[in-house]
Chain A
Amino acid sequence: MLLRKSVVPLNSDATGRFLPWLVAVMVYLAALALVSAMAMSKIVTRWDHGLSGQITVQLPVSENDLTEAEITNRREDVLTLLRQSPGVLSANHIGREETAALLEPWLGQTSGLSELPLPDLIAVEIDQLDPPSTAGLTARLIEIVPGATIDDHQRWLGNLLNLARSIEIVAALVVLLVGLSAVIMVVFVTRMGLAVHYQIVELLHLIGAQDGYIAREFQTHSLKLGFFGGLVGVALAALTIFGITRLLGQADTALLPALSLRPFEWVILGALPFASALVAMVTARLTVLRTLSRIP
């Protein structure tokens, strides 16, 4: 078979040998940045869904040494008020044991919790389509229990959303920078290849090769290197994600949710080698065409 070999022997170039490994590192970083962004987005979505339909009413610890019966009465008054308020779907008292359990992640399991002056908490489920006015509800609650407050979680959730958006932006910037670095590397390697094999390129040009024919020699080579590097990078990233998932599983904490990717997110990661191959191929082609345009 004639000309099974490449006309331009790019495989023998020392300059091209390190390209797949650099691409692998780039794709590895890009994959981790993407996974971080996807995980953060998922956490925020879960918390957002979990908290948007809920508010918490907090009745302060009485400073007037109320009896247990008086405390129960004022709580029942508050529950009645809440249940009668428009936009409130349900209102339930969070018992002392449940309140103490909420503090366990911070304070640990200790018998001293029962002796702490914990506030009365009431979980209120609200209609998200027709939510009650938090300010109006608070004013009416204060008439029954001075110092009563409502936490609609919005301030906390807002900060969290800002954090998540920031992480997503940083991840996008990392992916962009990684892509840009990959482009610069491919341009450099392609130019080196053109310089090393200039005699062959010029010969091809002089015997009538179209620019596209010569560019194909380089772009095919870059495509292979980019794809191989991408595969290695994604494989390393998958191993890292697997390791982090195992560690999070062992940590067994409610604060750090399990890092699991949905099918389409795995598809995005799986597409990275193709993306790196495409970037390498297009970059090499444009670099060669640009260089050839200077040859008369």
Chain B
Amino acid sequence: MVRFQDVSLRYGAGPEILDRVSLDLAPGSFHFVIGASGAGKSSLLKMMYLANRPTSGRISLFGRDVSSLSRHDAALLRRRIGVVFQDFRLLDHLSTLDNVALPLKVSGQRSDEIRKDVVELLTWVGLADHLDAKPATLSGGQQQRVAIARAVVSRPSLLLADEPTGNVDNRIAERLLYLFEELNKRGTTIVVATHNEALISRFNYPVIRLVRGEVRLEHAETLIRTSDMPGRAAADYGTRDTSLPVEGNPESAG
């Protein structure tokens, strides 16, 4: 699904952000990417969603070498990747409905075909009552759900989330990860970049740790667990609450 072979990245004449990174993410897998601020988590994800090209090395997505892709094919490949951006990147002048519909519209689907899917998805994330609301009128948590809905509306094979838990409290963050887990169970390959090690220690998934531009593969369960967030066994996931709060109070909104 995602293969990096000796991939390095530097911006301009700056230092190496990533240094000969090699990794191979299987289809249907779930990975966390962790590391200190500035470790290169976002840069790694940006290369996965083709926003950045490596300085050296080779990246393959869905079995295709991205360096040999035409612009047309690269765009088609991006449609198979859903991205939840750290800052959501919602379009302020568009309604919730239109924001979520955007990837489908861009891929050329007709409006009347789009609406049913988008409404269903927004209902699933608890925003059925906010279809016509503009992002500015939504709470942070609600905006995040719109961003997630937009990322998954085209049923991507690969979902990348950059610090999705950064702007919400731990309770919402945990539910958010359960939501990603549900999507993973439906076959979507998930990569979540976060700095919240305490949170991900509760999940039984492999972790890509970035240290000074290099990667180390770990397992979430080996991470230090904090006393206020007791870990759960993977077998417990079936009974979890994956719903996100509908109303955006300050606590839940983060």
Contact = CB atoms under 8 A, between A and B. Distances in A.
Interface string B95-120: 00110011101110001001100100
B111 A3 contact: yes
29 contacts: A1-B111, A2-B98, A2-B101, A2-B105, A2-B115, A3-B105, A5-B94, A7-B91, A12-B93, A199-B89, A200-B91, A203-B89, A204-B106, A205-B75, A205-B78, A206-B49, A206-B51, A207-B79, A207-B102, A207-B150, A208-B77, A208-B81, A208-B103, A208-B106, A209-B106, A210-B71, A210-B72, A293-B71, A296-B53
B107 A5 contact: no
A48 interface: no
A182 to B, nearest CB: 28
A1 B53 CA distance: 37
Contact of B106 (A2, A202, A207, A293): A207
A213 interface: yes
Interface in A175-220: 199-200, 202-211, 213
Interface of B: 49-53, 71-72, 75-79, 81, 83, 89, 91, 93-94, 97-98, 101-103, 105-107, 111, 114-115, 118, 150, 154
Nearest to A203: B89
A128 B53 CA distance: 75
B103 A2 contact: no
A204 B105 CA distance: 10
A207 B78 CA distance: 6
A296 B52 contact: yes
A199 B83 CA distance: 15
Given A207-B79, A208-B76, A211-B71, A3 B102 contact: yes
A13 to B, nearest CB: 12
Interface in A1-60: 1-3, 5, 7, 9, 12
Given A206-B83, A207-B79, A7 B51 contact: no
A3 to B, nearest CB: 5
Contacts of A202: 51
B163 to A, nearest CB: 16
Nearest to A214: B106
Contact of B102 (A7, A12, A210, A211): A7
A202 to B, nearest CB: 8
Interface in A222-251: none
Contacts of B93: 5, 9, 12
Nearest to A12: B93
Interface SS of chain A: helix, strand, loop or mixed? Answer: loop
Given A7-B105, A205-B75, 6 more contacts: A1-B111, A2-B97, A3-B105, A200-B91, A206-B51, A296-B51
B91 to A, nearest CB: 6
Task: Select the residue from B53, B75, B89, B105 with max chain A CB neighbours within 10 A.
Answer: B75
Task: Select the residue from B72, B103, B154 with max chain A CB neighbours within 10 A.
Answer: B103
A119 to B, nearest CB: 80
B103 A207 contact: yes
Task: Select the residue from B76, B94, B114, B118 with max chain A CB neighbours within 10 A.
Answer: B94
A3 B75 contact: no
A7 B94 CA distance: 8
A270 B91 CA distance: 39
Nearest to B81: A208
B150 to A, nearest CB: 8
Contacts of B118: 2
A147 to B, nearest CB: 83
Contact of A208 (B53, B78, B115): B78
Nearest to B89: A203
Given A199-B89, A206-B78, A5 B106 contact: no
Nearest to B83: A206
Given A203-B91, A207-B83, A208-B78, A5 B98 contact: yes
A7 B49 CA distance: 21
